[in-house]
């Protein structure tokens, strides 16, 4: 039980806290080890053009694949990597692997890669990324970096410098999880984005809530007005697909088209009429 030292203001012993810290410490050691042994790998989820069904890119999603084949999701280890500073090394390893994979794809297929908010404070990040692309031999125009709104507001000046370094070299920038962060609209006017990705939460509640549909319609209109490509995340059902096509959303991503796999599934254009076919009329 916790016991207070009368001379001091803090609690000196808390078994629950101790346990959490131990578990965290253990996980950190495991993560360092996993980085060394190559257990942290990118998997690839297709990005599909909703007019044609063409696969136009893949988003690299980090997976921790254990020796026994078990998989851990990024939600479990990315935050820890951010807190411990391991994110720089982890992200560089992932990006290198992802770029090497992307080099083998047809030249018109892009690689989308997520950056953590914590990474944007690294003044050398832009240079590091451009060096890596050169080293691997992937043209910058094949890469699209996904950044969340939260990441941008942490240090606006720094983010601006970074993004202009990258966009000048030809790298594309997508605003990820659009609609869930802060001051989205001021971010849109300030930074040179190519694309907005509508957060999955809006698409998930499409069917039951008309309001969500109106919000998505408005975001797509905003994107069109600003000359940006819009992508809908988390498309799972035929009716979501049919509705997004009708609204003129450019690209889509979701389990309906495919989950992330260890090697990118390069397929001929998907038969979207068939995929959306079971949809009830909107
Ligand atoms: P995100 O960038 O928004 O990635 C999309 C997430 O939605 C992925 O989860 C993906 O598997 C999931 N998803 C895609 N389609 C569907 C669908 O139809 N239904 C549902 N329910 N989910 C779908 P995942 O792989 O667990 O990644 C979660 C988040 O972790 C990512 O969100 C991203 O923010 C972060 N992350 C992933 N890989 C990396 C990485 O290499 N570096 C950094 N910094 N963050 C990463
Ligand atoms: Mg993303
Ligand atoms: Mg996203
Ligand atoms: Mg998301």
User: Are the C-beta atoms of 43 and 63 separated by less than 8 Å?
Assistant: yes
Q: Which residues line ligand 1 (CB under 6 A)?
A: 45, 60-62, 73-75, 78, 91, 94, 114-116, 146, 176-177, 200, 233-236, 253-255, 260
Residue 153 alpha carbon to ligand 2 centre in Å: 17
Q: If you take atom 19 of ligand 1, which residue's CA is the nearest one? A: 234
Interface confidence (ipTM) of the complex: 0.98
Neighbours of 207 (CB within 10 A): 15
Query: What residues have a C-beta under 5 A from ligand 4, the ion?
Result: 177
Per residue of the chain (282 residues), give pLDDT as tens: 455 555 556 656 666 667 888 888 888 999 999 999 999 999 999 999 999 999 999 999 999 999 898 999 999 999 999 999 999 999 999 999 999 999 999 999 999 999 998 898 888 999 999 999 999 999 999 999 999 887 777 778 888 899 999 999 999 999 999 988 766 677 777 788 899 999 999 999 887 788 899 999 999 999 999 999 999 999 999 999 999 999 999 999 999 999 999 999 999 999 999 999 865 555
Residue 242 alpha carbon to ligand 2 centre in Å: 23
Closest CA to 258 of 270, 240, 244: 270
User: Are the C-beta atoms of 42 and 60 separated by less than 8 Å?
Assistant: yes
Ligand 1 closest atom vs CA 177: 3
Q: Is 183 exposed, middle or buried (0-12, 13-18, 19+ CB in 10 A)?
A: exposed
Ligand nearest to the CA of 200: 4
């Amino acid at each position: 039980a916790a016991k207070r030292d009368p001379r001091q203001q803090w609690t000196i012993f808390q078994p629950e806290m101790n346990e959490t810290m131990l578990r965290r410490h253990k996980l950190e050691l495991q993560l360092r080890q996993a980085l060394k042994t190559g257990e942290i790998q990118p998997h690839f989820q297709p990005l599909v053009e909703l007019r044609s069904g063409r696969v136009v890119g893949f988003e690299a999603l980090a997976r921790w694949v254990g020796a026994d084949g078990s998989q851990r999701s990024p939600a479990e280890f990315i935050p820890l990597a951010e807190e411990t500073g391991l994110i720089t090394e982890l992200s560089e390893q992932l990006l290198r692997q992802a770029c090497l994979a992307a080099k083998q794809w047809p030249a018109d297929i892009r690689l989308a890669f997520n950056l953590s908010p914590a990474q944007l404070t690294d003044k050398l990040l832009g240079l590091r990324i451009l060096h890596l692309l050169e080293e691997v031999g992937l043209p910058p125009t094949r890469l699209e970096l996904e950044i969340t709104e939260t990441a941008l507001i942490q240090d606006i000046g720094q983010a601006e410098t970074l993004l202009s370094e990258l966009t000048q070299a030809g790298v594309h920038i997508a605003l990820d999880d659009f609609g869930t962060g802060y001051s989205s609209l001021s971010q849109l006017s300030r930074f040179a984005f190519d694309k907005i990705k509508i957060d999955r939460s809006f698409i998930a509640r499409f069917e039951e809530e008309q309001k969500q549909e109106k919000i998505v319609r408005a975001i797509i209109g905003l994107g069109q007005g600003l000359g940006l490509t819009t992508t809908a995340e988390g498309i799972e059902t035929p009716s979501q697909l049919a509705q997004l096509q009708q609204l003129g959303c450019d690209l889509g991503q979701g389990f309906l088209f495919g989950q992330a796999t260890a090697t990118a599934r390069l397929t001929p254009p998907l038969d979207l009429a068939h995929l959306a076919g079971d949809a009830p009329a909107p």
